Amino acid sequence: MLVVRSTPDYLLSTILTRAGIPLPTKSNPNPKRVPTDTITNTTIYDCIAAPHPSDITAIMDTLIGNPDVTSCLNTINTLKANRGLALADILTALAEQLSEKNVPAQTRITWLEGLAEVEWRLSGGGGETVQTGAMVGVVRGGCEVMQNSR
């Protein structure tokens, strides 16, 4: 178990810096401050470069609701590029959200087994572009299993 100790000042300065709020330095002791009232969940997700739950929901809704694979890939690649998301983080969050959906067991198994394989390939050096396509194929395949079981 790894234990990381950090001072509240360090954490706050990391969050503020990531949010674009300048901090005092030796060369600029009084930087122009951007007024901020609170640190939001969005600020924290941005700071740790994790996908926002709304981004994962958008990806999941696109994958489940849109049978056009090209459109799904374009949506996901646009979100990845605009938000700086990593496929490994998307896979983890997507698996969590898909496992909570009320679907037949066959569909859930198809999704989770397929996403685990995509994650394994990605960690073994598989290209992110190819594995993004594989992720789309896994989720769409689970949707077809769900439709065929009705």
**pLDDT one digit per residue (tens) for the chain, 150 residues:** 444 454 555 556 666 665 555 555 555 555 555 445 566 777 777 777 778 889 999 999 999 999 999 999 999 999 999 888 899 999 999 999 999 999 999 999 999 999 999 999 999 999 999 999 999 999 999 999 888 877
| Residue 111 near residue 138, CB atoms below 8 Å | yes
Residues 19 and 39 sit within 8 Å (Cβ to Cβ): yes
Owner of token pair 């067991």: 105
Instruction: Give CA separation, 32 vs 24, 28, 29, 40, 74, in Å.
Output: 9, 9, 10, 21, 39
At 9 the pLDDT is 58
Q: What is the pLDDT of residue 50?
A: 79
pTM of the model as a whole: 0.72
pLDDT reported for residue 2: 45
Write the single-letter amino acid at 35.
P
